[in-house]
Amino acid sequence: MSTVRGAVIALAVVSALALTACGPAEDDTAGGATGSESPTESVAPSKSPTLTPSASAGEGSPGGGDTSSPDPDYDVFPCSTYDVKFTASLAESTTSSYLLKITNKGTKACRALGHPVVTFGGLDGQATERGKAPGIEDAIRLEPGESAYAGLMGGVDDGTGKTVDSVEMTMNTESDLEQTPLKASTPGLYVSPDKNSVTAWVTNAEDALSL
């Protein structure tokens, strides 16, 4: 009889321990009301801001400014002897007329201003300017490889002048720029002290010799 009762008591103790082990822990009751841990929320990755291309400078963009000039010739400077090649060819022997030609040998445009400054060999002074030249705004624009012309007349041999075999030329730059004179051969060029002259630069040879 005592053996049966002992077995019943032992079974009761084992059942009680099992119920205690399976029961909810204090910290987990009421969905974790003690606040020891809260469920982790997943956070969606933030999107990188979309970059909008900025307006190009000179197209009215803020701070960009319009750097273009309304005048397409604002950076075209006068031609100097450093910018051109120079030749002289006999046009009419009676009046000792020569056709002067310059060609832009550079990579940028330049302007042929006024009259060429021509001196005759070792003679003092320079050729007299013949006719009126356009102002700087209307001066000939020479693109690379383009040419301009001027007519040089030594004058009729009246016995008062001298004969020279070369001329030297510098360009009118309307500045104090120092230039190296360009030399051209002019065999037998007679130079009258009173009737020599040179025209302004023009765009074609016929006009240069007829002015």
H or E stretch including 5?
helix 2-22
Residue 77 domain flag: no
Determine, yes or no, domain membership for 173: yes
Q: Is the pLDDT of residue 10 over 50?
A: no
Domain count across the chain? 1
| Domain, as residue range, for 145 | 84-210
Q: Is residue 12 part of a domain?
A: no
pLDDT bucket at 167, cuts 50 / 70 / 90: very high
In-domain check, residue 167: yes
In a domain, 66, yes or no: no
CATH of the domain at 142: 2.60.40
pLDDT, position 185: 96
Residue 27 domain flag: no
Q: Is the pLDDT of residue 15 over 90?
A: no
What pLDDT does residue 74 have? 63
The answer to whether residue 9 is domain-embedded is no
pLDDT at 84: 98
Q: Is the full-model pTM beyond 0.75?
A: no
Which position has the token pair 């032992």? 10
Q: What is the pLDDT of residues 70-99, one digit of tens each?
A: 555 667 999 999 999 999 999 999 999 999
Q: What is the 3-state secondary structure (H, E, C) of 80-134?
A: CCCCEEEEEEEEECCCCEEEEEEEECCCCCEEEEEEEEEEECCCCCCCCEECCCC
Residue 141 lies in a domain: yes
pLDDT tens-digit readout, 49-70:
443 443 333 443 344 444 444 5
